[in-house]
């Protein structure tokens, strides 16, 4: 890993300001944050406190107004858009609250999407897709379309899609926010397994204390500031 | 093309919309090919006409005949070095739908005046020496499966009755512009069979001048000669005669071009709108793909590729249909469009037009998708 001293994510004095009708809306106000390789971190905070914004900065799909975001040895502010996309493909697995599967593609094809960006042959892609579908327990659903799956199953397919290219960091934005308690628990168990067995580094946004308990460490964000 | 399936799946997302779009593009290009073919067929017959060949017809209208006696006087005109004549027969084979041109020709002179009709010498000889013989173009022979020696019955409309001809020759055009869909038979045979009052009447005289620059002089002289007779003439070059059909309907070429362009343009606007709708509906999905690491350039190509594929499918359907329809049917408009077939150039132009439509209709949604800001696009649903 290219990261220095085992720190996979390092944020230094990160600010994010949005403009709403020309009025400045400060969302993140001087965030310092370090996540070490192999950690499973939960990020909690009230709605609107800037959790998603912070996660998006770390995942390289948004950029800070000020400060430095270093992830996997790369200072994201210095990367050109094309490079940043390639960097995301290589390092980030993103899990959304609303799963965000492509409705016209089967579970198998959805999981394959990140692999299309690699040089892998069709045969190798198939091997990998079936392997991760097996890992999330959905091998039998490979040919199903998202609308034929339950919410919990959809989220498992989304997790398979997030891990299929073996990214450095998994980020999840309220991954259980749209699920009932039983399915939520299953998803959290799956994430715990990915952390424990595959040594994945995971950053999970949640406002559910039960979900946060599954992580090794919990950060609290309030009004754009990380609480000690 | 591992991304093809992604593009294809997106097209199948709204099957009805995709079908309607493909279909309307197909219609536009079908019409484009058809109108283009009207123009190229006219051009071909103009090219096939000889600059040294003049057409002499009744001054009032083509439907009035001229006396056979004019022949002797035409031969005398200075500058004229060949005369032939014939009548438009206007019949059909078995069914009025089977339209092709038939001409009763003065056989002894016709090959002299029409050197573009190429036939083996023995067939020329056989045709000359038999009163009921006929010759047919190669394309016509192929279409009806007629061979040398076959009896071909033609039902006359201007000259009523069933006329039986024996095929004694199959001619080819010297160039590809020459029509190969006509049946020629003996004018003498027609003339003999007519009642006394209709005998010795000629529809068209063709005269040949020694060089093209004599054409104007000779035309004037011929028309002056018959000016005060009961049957005045109108003489013009074959080109002008052909072009006369065109001017009958005004500046058809311009008209057809305007109509064709208008159709294509209208359909393109509809397609642009459809493509933009299709892309807008997928804002979140595009943001998701970008999150997975799909670059702006790749997204651009995927969205543009989709528009291009739709247009190309429409283009192939429309142009293919045109080629098929005008190959299988015999749309000759009673012989006015003897060579009505879709040229390869027309198909190529149609497909290029389809590609252009694809690019133009895909460019706005593709650029919009490529520029999409991931974080804000994802917010809209959450
Ligand atoms: N693109 C944007 N434009 C304007 N305001 C935004 C934008 N994105 C986020 N915000 C605002 O930033 C604040 C934090 O949003 P977010 O990070 O989504 O919070 P959380 O995920 O903790 O609920 C909210 O007040 C939200 O309205
Ligand atoms: Mg949020």
3-state SS of B150-182 is CEEEEEECCCCEEEEEEEEEEEEECCCCCCCCE
Same structural domain, B115 and B182: yes
Q: What is the dihedral of CA B77, B80, B81, B82, to 10 degrees?
A: -90
**Residue A216 to chain B, least CA–CA distance (Å):** 26
Q: Is B295–A82 a contact, with Cβ atoms under 8 angstroms apart?
A: yes
Residue B243 has pLDDT above 70, yes or no: no
Average pLDDT over residues B11-30: 92
B241: pLDDT confidence band, cut at 50, 70 and 90?
confident
Same structural domain, B173 and B33: no
**Ligand 1, from A26, A28, A53, A63: best to mutate by most atoms within 8 Å of Cβ?**
A53
How many domains are contained in chain A?
1
Q: How far apart (Å, rounded) are the C-alpha atoms in residues A185 and B380?
A: 27
B211-223 confidence digits (pLDDT tens): 888 888 899 999 9
B265: pLDDT confidence band, cut at 50, 70 and 90?
confident
**Ligand 1, from A14, A15, A17, A18: best to mutate by most atoms within 8 Å of Cβ?**
A18
Provide residues with CB under 6 Å of ligand 1. A 18, 20, 25, 27, 45, 47-53; B 376, 379
Residue B157 domain boundaries: 65-230
Q: Is B292–A62 a contact, with Cβ atoms under 8 angstroms apart?
A: no
Question: What letter does residue B129 receive in the DSSP assignment?
Answer: T
B160-171 confidence digits (pLDDT tens): 999 999 999 999
B121: pLDDT confidence band, cut at 50, 70 and 90?
very high
Q: How far apart (Å, rounded) are the C-alpha atoms in residues A80 and B41?
A: 56
**Residue B175 to chain A, least CA–CA distance (Å):** 53
Q: Is B284–A56 a contact, with Cβ atoms under 8 angstroms apart?
A: no
- Ligand 1, atom 20, lies closest to the CA of A48
Q: Is B288–A97 a contact, with Cβ atoms under 8 angstroms apart?
A: no
| CATH number for A179 | 3.40.50.300
Residue B342 has pLDDT above 90, yes or no: no
Is residue A132 assigned to a domain?
A: yes
Question: Which is the closest atom of ligand 1 to the Cα of A20?
Answer: 4
Q: Is A105–B294 a contact, with Cβ atoms under 8 angstroms apart?
A: no
Residue B339 has pLDDT above 70, yes or no: no
Residue A19 domain boundaries: 7-226
H-helix or E-strand containing B275? helix B252-280
Residue B252 has pLDDT above 80, yes or no: no
A57 DSSP β-pair partners: none
Is residue B237 assigned to a domain?
A: no
Same structural domain, B219 and B87: yes
Q: Is A98–B296 a contact, with Cβ atoms under 8 angstroms apart?
A: no
Same structural domain, B30 and B88: no
* Cα B40 to chain centroid, rounded: 6
Is residue A1 assigned to a domain?
A: no
Question: Which is the closest atom of ligand 1 to the Cα of A47?
Answer: 23
Is residue B57 assigned to a domain?
A: no
Same structural domain, B89 and B197: yes
Is residue A141 assigned to a domain?
A: yes
Is residue B83 assigned to a domain?
A: yes
Q: Give the residue from chain B lying closest to A47, CA to CA.
A: B382
Q: Give the residue from chain B lying closest to A106, CA to CA.
A: B9
Chain B residue numbers with beta carbons less than 8 Å from the beta carbon of A103 are: 13, 285
**Residue B2 to chain A, least CA–CA distance (Å):** 7
Question: What letter does residue B92 receive in the DSSP assignment?
Answer: B
Which of B77, B143, B99 minimizes the C-alpha distance to B335? B99
Task: Determine the straight-line distance between the first and last CA of chain A, rounded to whole angstroms.
Answer: 29
Is residue B349 assigned to a domain?
A: yes
Q: Which residues contact A10 (CB under 8 A, 6 or more apart)?
A: A33, A34, A68, A69, A70, A71
Average pLDDT over residues A72-98: 94
Out of B10, B293, B375, the one facing A89 most closely (by C-beta) is: B293
Is residue B160 assigned to a domain?
A: yes
Is residue B243 assigned to a domain?
A: no
End position of a domain, from candidates B202, B230, B258: B230
What is the pLDDT, as a whole number, of residue A56? 96
* Shortest-distance ligand to the CA of residue A31: 1
Is residue B244 assigned to a domain?
A: no
How many domains are contained in chain B?
2
* Cα of A115 from ligand 1 centre, angstroms: 31
* Cα of A14 from ligand 1 centre, angstroms: 15
Same structural domain, B28 and B143: no
Same structural domain, B188 and B219: yes
Total Cβ atoms within 10 A of residue B63: 10
Same structural domain, B222 and B301: no
B172-221 confidence digits (pLDDT tens): 998 877 889 899 999 999 999 999 888 999 999 999 998 888 888 899 99
What is the pLDDT, as a whole number, of residue B334? 45
Is residue A41 assigned to a domain?
A: yes
Is residue B240 assigned to a domain?
A: no
Same structural domain, B34 and B86: no
pTM of the predicted protein model:
0.75
End position of a domain, from candidates B230, B259, B276: B230
End position of a domain, from candidates B199, B230, B261: B230
Out of A62, A81, A122, the one facing B296 most closely (by C-beta) is: A81
Residue B382 has pLDDT above 50, yes or no: no
Same structural domain, B348 and B206: no
Q: Is B291–A98 a contact, with Cβ atoms under 8 angstroms apart?
A: no
Is residue A2 assigned to a domain?
A: no
The residue of B13, B291, B294, B378 whose CB has the most chain A CBs within 10 angstroms, and thus the best one to mutate to test that interface, is B291
Q: How far apart (Å, rounded) are the C-alpha atoms in residues A143 and A138?
A: 10
Same structural domain, B214 and B86: yes
**Residue B23 to chain A, least CA–CA distance (Å):** 22
């Amino acid at each position: 890993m290219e990261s220095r001293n085992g720190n996979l994510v390092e944020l230094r004095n990160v600010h994010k300001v949005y403009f709403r009708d020309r009025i400045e809306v400060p969302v993140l106000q001087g965030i310092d944050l370090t996540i070490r390789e192999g950690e499973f971190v939960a990020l909690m905070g009230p709605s609107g406190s800037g959790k998603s914004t912070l996660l998006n900065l770390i995942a390289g799909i948004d950029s800070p107004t000020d400060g430095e975001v270093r992830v996997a040895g790369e200072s994201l502010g210095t990367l050109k858009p094309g490079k940043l996309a390639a960097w995301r493909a290589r390092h980030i697995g993103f899990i959304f609250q609303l799963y965000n599967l492509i409705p016209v593609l089967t579970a198998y094809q959805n999981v394959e999407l990140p692999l299309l960006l690699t040089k892998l042959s069709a045969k190798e892609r198939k091997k990998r897709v079936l392997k991760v579908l097996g890992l999330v327990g959905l091998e039998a659903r490979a040919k199903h379309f998202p609308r034929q799956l339950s919410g919990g199953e959809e989220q498992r397919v989304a997790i398979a899609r997030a891990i299929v290219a073996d990214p450095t960091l998994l980020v999840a934005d309220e991954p259980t926010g749209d699920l009932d308690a039983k399915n939520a628990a299953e998803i959290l168990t799956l994430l715990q397994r990915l952390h424990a067995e595959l040594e994945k580094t995971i950053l999970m946004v949640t406002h559910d204390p039960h979900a946060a308990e599954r992580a090794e460490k919990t950060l609290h964000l309030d009004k754009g500031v990380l609480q000690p | 093309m591992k991304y093809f399936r992604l593009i294809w799946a997106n097209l199948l997302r709204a099957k009805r919309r995709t079908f309607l779009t493909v279909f309307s593009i197909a219609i536009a290009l079908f019409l484009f090919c058809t109108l283009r073919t009207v123009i190229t067929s006219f051009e071909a017959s103009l090219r096939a006409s000889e600059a040294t060949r003049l057409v002499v017809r009744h001054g009032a209208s083509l439907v009035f005949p001229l006396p056979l006696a004019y022949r002797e006087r035409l031969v005398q005109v200075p500058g004229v070095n060949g005369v032939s004549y014939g009548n438009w027969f206007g019949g059909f084979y078995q069914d009025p739908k089977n339209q092709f041109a038939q001409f009763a020709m003065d056989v002894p002179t016709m090959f002299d005046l029409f050197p573009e009709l190429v036939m083996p010498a023995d067939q020329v000889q056989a045709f000359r020496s038999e009163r009921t013989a006929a010759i047919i173009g190669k394309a016509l022979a192929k279409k009806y499966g007629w061979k040398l020696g076959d009896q071909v019955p033609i039902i006359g409309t201007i000259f009523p009755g069933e006329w039986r001809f024996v095929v004694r020759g199959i001619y080819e055009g010297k160039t590809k512009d020459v029509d190969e869909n006509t049946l020629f038979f003996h004018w003498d045979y027609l003339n003999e069979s007519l009642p006394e009052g209709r005998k010795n009447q000629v529809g068209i005289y063709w005269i040949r001048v020694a060089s093209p620059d004599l054409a104007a002089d000779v035309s004037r002289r011929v028309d002056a000669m018959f000016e005060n007779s009961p049957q005045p003439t109108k003489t013009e070059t074959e080109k002008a005669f052909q072009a006369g059909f065109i001017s009958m309907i005004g500046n058809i070429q311009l008209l057809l071009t305007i109509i064709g362009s208008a159709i294509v343009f209208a359909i393109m606007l509809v397609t642009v709108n459809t493509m933009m709708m299709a892309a807008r509906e997928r804002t979140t999905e595009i943001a998701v793909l970008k999150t997975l690491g799909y670059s702006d350039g790749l997204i651009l190509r995927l969205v543009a590729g989709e528009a291009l594929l739709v247009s190309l499918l429409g283009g192939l359907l429309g142009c293919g249909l045109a080629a098929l329809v005008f190959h299988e049917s015999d749309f000759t408009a009673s012989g006015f469009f003897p060579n009505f077939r879709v040229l390869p150039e027309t198909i190529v132009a149609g497909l290029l037009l389809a590609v252009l439509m694809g690019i133009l209709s895909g460019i706005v949604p593709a650029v919009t998708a490529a520029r999409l800001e991931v974080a804000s696009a994802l917010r809209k649903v959450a």
